[in-house]
Amino acid sequence: MQQLRKTLSYLVDYRKEAILAPAFKLLEALMELFVPLVIAAIINQGIGHHNSTYVWWCFALLLGMAFVGMAFSFTAQWFTAKASVGCVTSLRQALFDHIGRLSYSQLDKLGTDTLITRLTSDINQVQNGLNLTLRLLLRSPFIVLGAVVMAFFVNVKAAIIFVITIPILSAVVFGIMLITIPLYTKSQNALDKLTKTSRQNLTGVRVIRAFGKEADEIAEFDQENHALTKINEFVGRLSALMNPATYIIINVATIFLIQRGAIQVNLGHMAQGDVVALYNYTAQIVVELIKLASLVISINRAIACANRIQTVLDLEPDMTYPQVLNTPAENDLAVAFQDVSLSYNHNDAQAVSQLNFRVQTGQTIGIIGGTGSGKSTLVNLLARFYDATHGKITVAGHDVKAYPAGQLIDKIGIVPQKAVLFEGTIRSNLQWGKPDATEQELWQALEVAQAKEIVQGKAGGLDAQVEQNGRNFSGGQRQRLTIARALVKQPDILILDDSASALDFATDLKLRRALKKLAHKMTIFIVSQRTSSVRTADNILVLDQGQIVGQGNHDHLMATCEVYQEIYYSQFPKKGGH
């Protein structure tokens, strides 16, 4: 319940609407409760005494009550919509902002698919639950209790049937509610798994077809889908019990009511209109209890989803940042790693261990190694996407942990392995790192990245459209545009994390020559599996199983590092020399 209260705290800014919505619903309910009494008066006084004038006056009264009730209902709906949509919008924004503050390790543990479900399906369930709660949580019980009170005004003995029936109905409704609450949490967790499987299949559909694995993937999807269906079917069966159970109880109560009413009418102790009024109150109770049952189901779902959302919001970011950089520089190096090690889950094997190297400003550093050797981990540590579990990393002489949020990344331009472009224009993508970049700066970056001809070949040039994920560009074109985006930023440190893998050798050579001219302006890290890409670097770090096994220039490594030799000769056979 504490997590639910935290979620509802986002309703504070809409407290006025949250109070007025149920208040107007209660006024509407009040109009509804008087309708059976007016109908009873028509039967007893109007029809019973053949008084047509009285009937017409009562008809006018019913019509007026209907219009007033409708006005109250419309007003309540408006306040409800404003409160529920406003609250959920704030909650969604808070969740999105909080996710942005979580570290890479926390995001890895949660998973992309889980977070997408939280931001979409779970949020929508909370909105639906809140909407129904504001409209029905007070209205339905008010009508049920009001109908019982009105029944006592009509006939005390007959009203005792209501007193017996209501507790039984409440026990059925709330009993089913208590059983179904944990099941909705299981249902949403199963939905997470299904979303993950669906996303994996849709993003990797070409690979799946290339290896003829459609049947295996369909079987896996069917298994996850069946698990979700099984849970939902069980929940559905339990929820389905609510309506027939309430109908049975109410119908039995109605039989007793009519039977007792008929006896009282025959004895002259009760008027016919009173029996009709009691029956109408019974009908009102049935309708409202059915609404209440649906509300209970929606509230259960909303609570389960709110708890899942709050679980993410309760996660404290495990990376802290000072307000200002107030520590003196320890050295005049661009980058220094001192006995740096990292274990992603702290208890697992180390991804990298005992990394030691120093980089002068303006140097070009090559990082090479086999798959899984720790190349990307090294540059992720440099940008502080992860915190080292041991050792120290300095950038421009300062510990990376001493930089305020955003200040370190302002110094670094990163081109990740996966070239990602965002929907918009080429210009909007290039200006990510520097929103006020001039057109001249954009073209200069494009020229260095060997992407100038790509833009010139597009209708609209810099304002040419980029589709989602840059799907209207080839892999090599996306890579060159992402390199240009990092260069526009004019960073102190440029990291190319295997970001030229889709380029042909000629374009790669042109890119390296253009970057060499910028060496006096920035320190460059080139991560690659190609020895040709790092061969001219001032210093090359050779990684193997998370450790630096060689360090130096090309000639030095060819003479001293067996791992580097193996990589080189696998790409350039010995007959070609080196």
Tens of pLDDT along 519-556?
Answer: 777 999 999 988 988 998 999 999 999 999 999 999 99
pLDDT at 346 over 70: no
**DSSP code at position 319:** -
Strand ranges for 468-562 from DSSP E: 493-497, 523-528, 539-544, 547-552
Select from 260, 283, 313 the last residue of a domain: 313
Whether residue 408 contacts residue 383, with contact meaning beta carbons closer than 8 Å, is answered with yes
Residue 348 CB neighbours (<10 A): 8
Residue 319 inside a domain? The answer is no
pLDDT at 433 over 90: no
Residue 318 inside a domain? The answer is no
* pTM (predicted TM-score): 0.74
Query: Where residue 286 sits, what CATH number does that domain have?
Result: 1.20.1560.10
Residue 355 inside a domain? The answer is yes
Q: Are 522 and 430 part of one and the same domain?
A: yes
pLDDT of residue 87: 93
Condensed to tens digits (0 to 9), the pLDDT of residues 293-330 reads 778 778 888 888 888 899 999 998 888 888 888 888 88
> Which of the four pLDDT bands, split at 50, 70 and 90, describes residue 182?
confident
pLDDT of residue 556: 95
> Which of the four pLDDT bands, split at 50, 70 and 90, describes residue 246?
confident
pLDDT of residue 575: 59
pLDDT of residue 403: 92
Q: Of 112-116, 286-290, 349-353, 527-531, which range is least confident?
A: 286-290
- Exposed e or buried b for every residue in 60-80, given b needs 16+ CB within 10 A? eebeebeeebeebbebbbebb
Q: How far is CA 428 from the centre of its chain?
A: 25
> Which of the four pLDDT bands, split at 50, 70 and 90, describes residue 578?
very low
Q: Are 287 and 430 part of one and the same domain?
A: no
Residue 324 inside a domain? The answer is no
pLDDT at 577 over 60: no
Query: Where residue 421 sits, what CATH number does that domain have?
Result: 3.40.50.300
Identify the domain containing residue 421 by its residue range. Answer: 335-576
Section 468-494 average pLDDT: 90
pLDDT of residue 9: 87
Q: Are 192 and 240 part of one and the same domain?
A: yes
Residue 204 CB neighbours (<10 A): 14
Residue 328 inside a domain? The answer is no
Whether residue 541 contacts residue 357, with contact meaning beta carbons closer than 8 Å, is answered with yes
**Domain total in the chain:** 2
Condensed to tens digits (0 to 9), the pLDDT of residues 82-92 reads 999 999 999 99
What percent of the chain shows pLDDT beyond 70? 98
Section 216-244 average pLDDT: 83
**Residue of 205 and 474 predicted with greater confidence:** 474
> Which of the four pLDDT bands, split at 50, 70 and 90, describes residue 3?
low
pLDDT of residue 372: 86
Q: Are 373 and 302 part of one and the same domain?
A: no
Q: Are 446 and 302 part of one and the same domain?
A: no
Residue 325 inside a domain? The answer is no
> Which of the four pLDDT bands, split at 50, 70 and 90, describes residue 347?
low
Q: Are 379 and 307 part of one and the same domain?
A: no
Residue 268: which region, alpha, beta or left (left: phi > 0; alpha: psi -120 to 50)? left
Residue 360: which region, alpha, beta or left (left: phi > 0; alpha: psi -120 to 50)? beta
Distance, in Å, from the CA atom of 241 to the CA atom of 246, rounded to the nearest integer, reads: 9
Q: Of 5-19, 256-270, 501-515, which range is least confident?
A: 256-270
pLDDT at 512 over 60: yes
Q: Of 111-120, 392-401, 480-489, which range is least confident?
A: 111-120
What's the mean per-residue pLDDT of the chain?
A: 87
Q: Of 109-113, 242-246, 423-427, 433-437, which range is least confident?
A: 242-246
Select from 263, 280, 313 the last residue of a domain: 313
